[in-house]
Amino acid sequence: MGFLREVDGRAWLELSTSGTAAAPRTVRRSLASWEESFDHVSRLTGTVESDRVLVPAPPSGSMFAFAHAHAAHVGAGVVALARWSLRDAEEALASCTVAHVTPAMLTGLLERDLGALRTVVCAGAALPDTVRQRAHEAGIEVVDYYGAAELSFVAMRVGARLDPFPEVDVDLRDGVIWVRSPWLADGYAPGQSGPFTRDAEGWATVGDRGRVDDDLGLIVLGRGDDTVTTGGATVLCADVETAVLTFPAVTAAVAIGTPHAALGELLEVVVTGVLPHDIDELRSHTAALVSRTHIPRRWHAWSELPLTAAGKIDRAEVRRRLVTARTTEAGQ
């Protein structure tokens, strides 16, 4: 949950991170680090006072807390859901023209009546091209961005390219994304630590990896610490997921390591949007894009993926289900 704190005349914001594997941390930032970005966001997303904004999850993390704050700044009305519900979100879209959602939320909404929806502001994970295209075909403008609770906005896509957000400098150092901007947080709450690192020149990073493409701009490859060690090889889950998501039918993908007596961890992948009989074709497609060590040993097609309260894929719950299923199979 986001909180406004004030001590001895000094005010600041405290916001929770929304990671899918580690316990949330509390990030401290100045009011100006948010407030002074509001006009940029209004211009880039087209959000105005006459809009009605859907915030489909509680403001327990920075993404949805910011959505509330920005809507208040422009004077737009807000429909706030106490928890993510596809049914309730569909009902809200009868009157909402703008929605702040994660890719997983957007994937579900595209199967429903989009009502008055005009613009989707999307963040929290990589947005698959297939989902973006479906939204475009439905007449929805998608503005997606990359950021973090510690960094705030880093890059925003309006059109084809993910370019640096206004007043943001981006640098790649050995494949790691470093940022310098007025929107950076001050740090974590006392007694807490995390991936947020700053250097003497004012650059900061949370360890996310990326590269720059001439046509697409910044391509974010995920956190470098999300790895699976299998058979002596270290596999970055983001590398596998990026390859799998290029398969046209896939709407979401998550690579997971599960315990294995001989290999240490077994690399498994779960996808949505793909029928079970398409798995062989998906496996061949992925094998042509990654090294042999990065080819998952087990493939699963699910109708949907579990989400955290922040609307991100719940990797811990996916892992638990996979382990439980394999234990059940072994006992049969």
Of 180, 206, 221, the domain-final residue: 221
Indicate the residue among 196, 221, 246 that finishes a domain.
221
User: What's 98's domain CATH number?
Assistant: 3.40.50.12780
What's the CATH number where 252 sits? 3.30.300.30
In order of 221, 225, 229, 260, 316, the CA distances from 263 in angstroms are: 25, 19, 8, 5, 20
**Structure-block tokens of residue 237:** 């889950």
pLDDT single digits (tens) 282-297: 999 999 999 888 999 9
Tens-place pLDDT, residues 138-179: 999 999 999 998 999 999 998 889 999 999 999 999 999 999
110/124 Cα distance (integer angstroms): 17
Tell me: do 201 and 275 sit in the same domain: no
241, 312: one domain: yes
Q: What is the dihedral of CA 52, 56, 58, 63, to 10 degrees?
A: -80
Structural domain count, the chain: 2
Q: Are residues 133 and 32 in the same domain?
A: yes
- pLDDT tens per residue, range 11-62: 778 887 755 445 568 899 999 999 999 999 999 999 999 999 999 998 877 8
* Domain end position, chosen among 202, 221, 240: 221
Whether 125 shows a pLDDT value over 90: the answer reads no
Phi, psi of 179 (to 5 degrees): -135, 145
Residues 190 and 44 in one domain: yes
What's residue 21's pLDDT? 46
Q: Which amino acid is at 10?
A: R
Tokens of 282: 């998906």
Q: Would the pLDDT of 128 be above 80?
A: yes
Q: Let me know the angle formed at the C-alpha of 143 by 186 and 23, rounded to the nearest 5 degrees.
A: 40
Does residue 22 sit in the same domain as residue 78?
A: yes
Q: Domain range for residue 290? A: 226-331
- Give the tens place of pLDDT for each residue, 56-115: 998 877 889 999 999 999 999 999 999 999 999 999 999 999 999 999 899 999 999 999
